[in-house]
């Protein structure tokens, strides 16, 4: 009797396990609540000092591990905000241990010293591992050199981080200069870099995790490599510049954008081929009312002449692309 009861108990457990597995395998689009992998926008801006948009920084979070792409100014405070307000402890500044940089423009790297040093003082005990284009090692060495007084006074016998048993290597950085291909792998994620077309050596990244495939463009003219990397991916995070705004900008900026960035029209065309389940638009040039430098404002224009409202972007994309898309804002989670 006892053994029959044990056997039936086991059968019930097995049935539950089978039903659970079936439900999991038929769930094609994990929601934010159930997915193991989430995209957290820590900064969606450009070089424009928009108080509502930090410099470009994105975290791909898999379970309790976070992988950062780009470290624009504001990254550390936005990361803390996401940890507190979105309840994602993986992005606590002290937990940020692996980062990738798309290219070395200042809007994508001005938060580097903050990520290194505030990450350390917030509790990181291992070196920061950073991957990116040529020039990354030199930038890293010079940042550490520039902050040698800070590092020395925190680690000397008087310093608050002197407990070498706890924080021996937290300020150190291992900078890895990469080429296209698989550049990183651990038990949670495989990261593939692909060449993009910008004003300098630049890469987009594809993240393959246990439940999602995520592609991020960085700054780039539309390239075939992004379409290949996505090819039906779960989330494509891509820059876009609005046509209506560009038409009002000086010719020099229009030419630069034509060579090294992507318009909304071009992004719609690219997304129609890449077919992401969700397209997230970020890094859009826009000057909120009152902050455009006068040299850029057209003659007699109002203070909001160079503001790209979410409605403007929405209209330009939805008239050309029927897939699901979102205009990314800082601290959005997908």
Return the range that interacts with Zn ion (CB under 5 A); candidates 25-33, 109-117, 141-149, 213-221. 213-221
Q: Which residues pair with 61 in a beta bridge?
A: 38, 66
Task: Give yes or no for residue 219 binding Zn ion (CB under 5 A).
Answer: yes
Tell which residue, 152, 153, 219, 214, has the closest CA to residue 188: 214
Our finding on whether 70 is near Zn ion (CB under 5 A) is no
**Coil, strand or helix: which one is 279?**
strand
How, if at all, do strands 203-208 and 213-216 pair? antiparallel
Task: Select 221 or 309, whichever has its Cβ closest to Zn ion.
Answer: 221
Name the token pair of 100: 């990738």
38, 53, 105, 206: residue in contact with Zn ion (rule CB under 5 A) = 105
Terminal-to-terminal C-alpha distance of the chain:
51
- Binding of Zn ion at residue 107 (CB under 5 A)? yes
Residue 84 Cβ, how far from Zn ion at the closest point, in Å? 27
The least distance separating Zn ion from the CB of residue 306, rounded to whole angstroms, comes to 17
Helix (H) or strand (E) holding 79: helix 75-85
Nearer to Zn ion, 119 or 133 (CB): 133
Per-residue DSSP letter, 94: G
Joined together, the tokens standing for residue 170 give 């937290």
Total residues at the site for Zn ion (CB under 5 A)? 3
Q: Which is nearer to Zn ion, 105 or 188 (CB)?
A: 105
| Candidate ranges 57-65, 163-171, 214-222, 302-310; the one touching Zn ion (CB under 5 A) | 214-222
Stretch that binds Zn ion, among 35-43, 97-105, 186-194, 322-330 (CB under 5 A): 97-105
Question: Residue 333, Cα to own-chain centre: how many angstroms?
Answer: 11
CA distance 219 to 267: 12
- Could you tell me the smallest distance in angstroms from the CB atom of residue 46 to Zn ion? 6
Which residues are at the interface with Zn ion (CB under 5 A)?
105, 107, 219
């Amino acid at each position: 009797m006892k053994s029959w009861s044990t056997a039936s108990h086991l059968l019930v457990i097995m049935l539950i396990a089978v039903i659970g597995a079936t439900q999991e395998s038929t769930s094609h689009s994990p929601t934010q609540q159930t997915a193991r992998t989430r995209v957290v926008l820590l900064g969606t801006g450009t070089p424009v000092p928009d108080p509502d948009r930090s410099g470009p920084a994105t975290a791909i979070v898999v379970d309790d591990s976070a992988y950062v792409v780009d470290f624009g100014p504001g990254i550390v405070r936005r990361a803390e905000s996401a940890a507190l307000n979105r309840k994602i402890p993986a992005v606590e500044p002290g937990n940020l241990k692996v980062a990738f940089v798309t290219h070395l423009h200042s809007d994508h790297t001005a938060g580097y010293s903050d990520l290194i040093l505030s990450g350390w003082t917030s509790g990181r005990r291992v070196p920061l591992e950073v991957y990116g284009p040529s020039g990354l090692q030199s930038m890293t060495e010079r940042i550490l050199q520039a902050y040698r007084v800070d590092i020395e006074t925190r680690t000397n016998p008087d310093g608050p981080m002197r407990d070498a048993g706890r924080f021996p290597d937290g300020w150190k950085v291992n900078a890895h200069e990469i080429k296209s291909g698989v550049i990183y792998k651990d038990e949670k994620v495989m990261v593939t870099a692909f060449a993009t077309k910008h004003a300098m050596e630049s890469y987009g990244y594809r993240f393959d995790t246990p439940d999602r495939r995520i592609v991020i463009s960085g700054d780039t003219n539309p390239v075939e490599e992004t379409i290949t990397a996505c090819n039906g991916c779960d989330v494509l995070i891509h820059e876009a510049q609005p046509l209506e705004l560009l038409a009002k900008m000086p010719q020099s900026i229009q030419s630069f954008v034509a060579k090294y960035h992507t318009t909304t029209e071009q992004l719609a065309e690219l997304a129609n081929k890449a077919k992401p389940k969700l397209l997230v638009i970020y890094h859009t040039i826009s000057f909120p009312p009152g902050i455009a430098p006068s040299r850029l404002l057209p003659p007699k224009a109002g203070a909001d002449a160079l503001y790209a409202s979410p409605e403007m972007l929405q209209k330009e994309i939805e008239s050309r692309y029927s897939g699901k898309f979102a205009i990314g804002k800082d601290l959005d989670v997908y």
